Structure 1
Amino acid sequence: MDTRQDDLRRELDATLQARKELGKEYESELVDSFLKRLDARMDARTEHAAPQHFEGYGPDYRHRPRRSRWSGGRPGSRLAVISLVLAIPLTGIASDAQHGGLVGLLTCWAGIVGVNFAAARADRRDREDREDRRPRGDWD
């Protein structure tokens, strides 16, 4: 047993002895007194341990936005994967003879290419805007 537990045990024993000597009428005051000392001890221990536990964490770590597992890589890669996955059933539907055949197929793929092209162009424009807003240093 360490010394903190020994001290706590001695305080509890002293409180129980005082209760025996003073009687039941002082029991609530003795318990409150013991609990206040216990709370003070726990507060001191928490104040001592908390800075050590959270050492190395600063405001930059707590307020940093979390990345999802899809956020890695280029921003347009997500749209490209989704459009290719959707292109498989759309190609099957559009190339059916009842829905247009070759003309339907070409229209479907023109739409897919157009959406991806527009998204890539918007991403490029956003990147250029961010670079323009970036402060320039002496080495730029």
Structure 2
Amino acid sequence: MSLDDDLGHGDIEAALATRRELGARYDAELVDGFAERIERAVDRRVADQVAVAQRRTSGTEGSRIRQFVLGLISVGVGVPITIVPTVATDNGLPAVVIGWLGIVGVNAAHAWQSRSS
């Protein structure tokens, strides 16, 4: 952003001073020039806001995909974590509970981290 494109109180005062010096016959040119500067400033601000919105959207979409894949992997890992202690021991329930709590913890931590970024 250059200083020429930056609109401020000084720009308005300069346009009014120019109008006083040149008279009413140059009003259309002064207004057109000032309107162009305003349009450029608005276009630049809109483009900046659109870019920020696109970055947020793309980050959110990637996070959703990662969360979905992590969920699928968790279910795939959870099946052997459930079967092995159940078949290998008489009382495998504590091992199954601990294994699934670990899976839930990993998924919860990933979901929390994805929301905060």
TM-score (norm 1): 0.35
Between structure 1 and structure 2, the one with the greater Rg is 1
Q: Which has the higher contact order (CA 8 A, sep 6+)?
A: 2
